[in-house]
Copies of this chain bind each other. A is one copy, B any other.
Amino acid sequence: MDLTAYERRLSRPTRIKLPEFQRNGRLKHVIFADQFDRPMLENLDTLSNMVRELARDRETQLFLRDLLPHKRAMLYFTQASTRTFLSFTAACQLLGMPIAEIRDPSVSSEYKGESPFDSMRMFSSYFDLVVMRTAAAGFAEACAYLMNDLDEFNERHVPVVNGGSGADEHPTQALLDIHTIQRCFEFASERDSSKRTRFDDYRKTYPDLTRGLDSKVYGFCGDIGRGRTVHSLATLLALYSDVQMHFVSPPDDRMRLPGPMRESLSAKGVKVFEHDSLADIVENVDLLYMTRIQWEHDKDNSGRSGPAAVDPNFVLTPELADRMKSYAPILHPFPRNAEIPFEVDHNSRAMYFREARNGMWVRAALLAHLFDVDGLIVSHHREVFSHYHDYNTGSK
């Protein structure tokens, strides 16, 4: 893909670029996980919880569906990602947004020699938002520049959301991971649960336990070197204070923690450790983020050859899972291979299916933010839940 027209802008350091994706302290496009600072993460966490609450009952869900029926979303996914695609689909449906989609790159005018930027302007002609996932790194970012240029010329332009373009960025995955962790570390009681003291219960066993993401020990296991979800999540967790991170990976340079990332995390005050066996850290971590070994990169192009035999050092067996702290959540960005056996799915620490479902709430919250209807959600939520204050402090 020819990105030369945007090359100069693409090659700048991320920190220089960020203001171009914001507007008045809000998100204009969603391109990098680095766009999210702590206040934004907390804001989106609260909003995601409200969306979830409002989606529970028919009447409040109809309120959500009435928020964006006048906006249309284009989902442009020429790189396969069923989970992200379906999650955005459900998020749009929650807010009443009609969707158009391209999932098959061959069904496209591009075979007639059209520039992908002309395709992008076509999408922005018919639709009010473009969520995109393509194999080309930088394309979503370049599309955001195209939209900004149109904005300057007073031409029609729409928000661009990066659904995982290229090898390095998947900001909405990072967002749902953080939201899941925020939610876990609220230690709120289960809905409709009579026990109101989950946090207090845990404190009996773990007296130093605190609420929130600060002062925690985070474990990551698997393909650390090539797992972009690990990179994005670690970067966001580095926004919190008094954080330890333990990375467990095969002793292969492609899979272990990259040097620049180690340095970057350390520079932000994170205490970083590396290990070569999951057993070394399970008892110590407050949270375990498992990932699969991306074996398809090691194979021929077909990607069909299947995973290599799984090294037991990077598998969370039921026995290892039981040795974890009782409150410590197990996350996984999916798809999984054999690194978490099915037997672990019913372990009370297993949060990865809820994590997947959280992607829907977070993406709906993000869309609501982009279209400036988040305020409507907040005020409607307050109206519906008269016990709003209680809920927010976790004592509902």
Contacts and interface: CB of A to CB of B under 8 A. Distances in A.
Contact of A72 (B58, B90, B102, B113): B90
A61 B86 CA distance: 26
B336 A126 contact: no
Interface string A91-104: 00100001010111
Given A80-B108, A336-B114, A86 B103 contact: no
Interface residues of A, number: 62
B70 A65 contact: yes
A108 B93 contact: no
A302 to B, nearest CB: 9
Contacts of A107: 80, 82, 103-104
A312 B155 CA distance: 29
Given A156-B357, A336-B114, A69 B62 contact: yes
Contact of A125 (B100, B336, B353): B353
Contact of A114 (B104, B110, B334): B334
B335 A126 contact: no
Nearest to A355: B125
Interface of A: 5, 58, 61-62, 65, 69-70, 72, 74, 80-83, 86-87, 89-90, 93, 98, 100, 102-104, 106-115, 117-119, 121-123, 125-127, 153, 155-156, 292, 295-296, 303-304, 306-307, 334-337, 342, 346, 353, 356-357, 360
